[in-house]
Structure 1
């Protein structure tokens, strides 16, 4: 038995409720990259359900000023409510910070399929100077795979993307920046 607050539930019941709540939250699309779920993007951190059925969801934005944060919070709460879990809270967790290394392999492939060049590895240094900093000499075109690309603008349709163009197929494309 697991006791939380004044309600008692079996550990199996809580685990099943948490798995269900996580599946529901994980399926919420990112408002800026709708081909990805918040789970694909690595924004979804933790989901807990206490014995009374209250759901706590932890999310980490791609950066602290992310304009989509409130939309993500509202979408998670709406989706949980639609699936019979109206008693929920979404917490924003800023530490450890999100990095593009949290994007799933499936998420990277979805980006590529939608014409967005996925980021390379962000690495683990995050300013501590102890880990090597990955260096990408080029960004491959997500349409034709050519390495003959150049950056047109440091910021694309959102602050987390840059606008690039391919020298071979001449198509412009977004590149999700490594953070």
Structure 2
């Protein structure tokens, strides 16, 4: 290989072949199709703690855009102490790189803070089908003054449930038990 010439990027398995020239590695103009393809790639990146919800349905991917010749992904962690944040960002970067996006740029945006209100309807249904009760109500501070929500059992649908522990398998979940089918389950808390 001649000096200074970079090998072509592999695009196997990522749809139509995209031929990139060496200068593309320094950045290139993006298109609407690039953004659409990036969103599609991100929809396959699953949360490692709840592997049935992707980062898009979880609501942590805030924006995808082209900036300074590279794909830029704006991500908001579920909370500042989430131990999976760095790993999720690595998964996102690896998925985009594998799909042919050279040097994607990930930026964290902490304001406004992520809220369970951002979980999509599809994400909530995937949680329920997996056996995790999705968040009930809103993370709005006014909900602190309201009566405690009824948490339905994801197994049988009964609202005859009780909280066993404020913390379940992860800090963002509480442990509940159904008093009808007697099954324990995690409840994804409103945050």
Residue 164 of structure 1 deviates from its aligned partner by 0.4
C-alpha separation in 2, matches of 1:31 and 1:121:
25
Match of 2:104 among 70, 88, 103: 88
Corresponding residue for residue 105 of structure 1:
121
- Between Structure 1 and Structure 2, how many residues are aligned? 166
Q: Mark the CA change 1:8 to 1:100 in structure 2 (over 3 Å): closer, same or farther.
A: closer
Structure with the larger strand share: 1
Corresponding residue for residue 3 of structure 1:
none
C-alpha separation in 2, matches of 1:118 and 1:49:
33
C-alpha separation in 2, matches of 1:116 and 1:68:
18
Deviates more, 1:14-23 or 1:56-65: 14-23
1:112 partner SS:
helix
Q: Mark the CA change 1:132 to 1:69 in structure 2 (over 3 Å): closer, same or farther.
A: closer
Larger radius of gyration: 2
C-alpha separation in 1, matches of 2:77 and 2:149:
27
Corresponding residue for residue 66 of structure 2:
49
Query: Unpaired segments of 5 or more residues in structure 1?
Result: 1-5
Corresponding residue for residue 156 of structure 1:
168
Residue 144 of structure 1 deviates from its aligned partner by 0.6
1:49 partner SS:
strand
Runs of 4+ in 1 over 3 A off after TM superposition: 6-9, 131-137
Residue 134 of structure 1 deviates from its aligned partner by 5.1
Asked whether the 8 Å contact 1:154–1:163 carries over to 2, the reply is yes
Q: Mark the CA change 1:155 to 1:7 in structure 2 (over 3 Å): closer, same or farther.
A: closer
C-alpha separation in 1, matches of 2:161 and 2:27:
59
Asked whether the 8 Å contact 1:123–1:133 carries over to 2, the reply is no
Matched, 1:141 2:158: no
Residue 48 of structure 1 deviates from its aligned partner by 1.0
C-alpha separation in 2, matches of 1:95 and 1:134:
26
Taking the TM superposition and a 5 Å limit, the aligned residue runs for 1:10-89 are: 14-50=31-67, 52=69, 54-89=70-105
Query: Unpaired segments of 5 or more residues in structure 2?
Result: 1-25
